[in-house]
Amino acid sequence: MTHDHPVATERAVSRPFGRLLTAMVTPFTADGSLDLDGAVRLANHLVDEQGNDALVINGTTGESPTTTDAEKESLIRAVAEAIGDRAKVVAGVGTNDTRHTIELATAAEKAGAHGLLVVTPYYNKPPQSGLVRHFTAVADATGLPIMLYDIPHRAGVPIATETLVGLAEHGRIVAVKDAKGDLTATSWVTSRTELAYYSGEDSLTLPALAVGCVGVVGTSTHFTGALTKRMIEAYDAGDTGTALALHRRLLPLFTGIFRTQGTILVKAGLAAKGLPAGPVRPPLVDATEDEIAQLRTDCAAAGLELP
């Protein structure tokens, strides 16, 4: 397969955060307190062993609703110092309060983050004009590049195509984590803007690449990272057969990690592998024995061993 369309080629190389990002879980100690040493160990594993180009810290997968602002800041600083220039740190700072989001964004910048992930304000369902005002205010508040997070099934409101096209004109709004599940809408935005689109759903990464996405912000990639990256690189190289074979191989885990809330199963899987994870914080609950057994089955189906 050749890329002979000049605009398509230009967009294909616009990867401000690389190809593979994992929304990292936040390790806690047995009593539920923040495990910074564990976070450093896990971050190093995800970069060195799984090939991540960037890590999202303090995303929903990192249990951001339950961590304090001080915990968020110390986590960013510890991970950024640990991974140095081997990968980027993208800090999740989005809330449903613009003022608080700006506070988290400025703190993340001071703590060493390389970019910001800003989710659609959730629950209060602002109109599109409110989304523009929110995202623009956050983008104006720091010097960091921003990845918008479009996830209507959690936020309650989508970022409309025209809104995304307008926001793309802001110099620091450079990327989108796309969990809308609407590849037609994605196609329209990638055809009309230079926004770097990252699949926000592991199982849609390959089809998303076909409509202009450049990579993934994954959850199962705590385990599938190296092979997911190989899938993306194969597609980029025009080897769609290999990409499809890898997609089909990894599908049981791309989807299986979400049999319950993703963080729950990621932490269970990491614990089984002897990697830092610890318990989840309420209102999440730790995986049951049956759920862990099913996770082992899903890993095996993907050709990945879970002890």
Q: Which residues are catalytic, by number? A: 149, 177
Strand, helix or coil at 198?
strand
Residues in contact with 258: Cβ distance below 8 Å, sequence separation at least 6, in sequence order? 219, 265
* Dist CA 141 CA 136 (whole Å): 9
Report whether the peptide linkage leading into residue 283 is cis, meaning its omega lies within 30 degrees of zero. yes
Q: Which of 21, 20, 13, 11 is nearest to 190 (CA)?
A: 11
Q: Are 72 and 104 in contact (CB under 8 A)?
A: yes
CA–CA separation, 53 and 133 (whole Å):
30
* Run of H or E residues at 48: helix 36-48
Q: What is the CB neighbour count within 10 angstroms for residue 293? A: 11
